[in-house]
Structure 1
């Protein structure tokens, strides 16, 4: 599955960069997903495929930005490419909350995952 751009999701995530702002990723990306894998730029195709457990329709990911693979019961539900790196790379549950960092306008968000 090839990741598609999602300007709306990007805008919603980007709006959280101020201290005190937070929102559940599930609110921004509804659906039956239970896990999300976030990959940063310069991630190999092999690493992405190994993590998500299936082939993808792209070469090594060089960015700029991030890839989000929303998974449902081990299968890709949706794949998205966002224009900027706001969320630390990793694997998170559907309960993940994104929160603005302590620096106003900071580029990275804090991740709170109740796993």
Structure 2
């Protein structure tokens, strides 16, 4: 199962990198969100994918799942939601001012002059 998840994580990272290298600001934002989801899956996979064991350590339990990766992922989801929201608001404000989402035009490197 870990090998399959590693392949999926690699595909997500590859797609996120492609989107982040795009000229469109909206694609860059979607790429950063996709990259954060890939990191969430990476943390979950590296924590170990175990079945049937509760993340509770009790006196009679012989096997349990480490709850630290789930806690880290939950915190990272909240932070990535906040960062994505901030980027979307900044992109909307930039679109209102410049009437474009092309990164070259926003930088002032317009080739049409």
Larger Rg: 2
Compare the two structures and name the one with the higher helix fraction: 2
TM-score in terms of structure 1 length: 0.26
Higher relative contact order (CA 8 A, sep 6+): 1
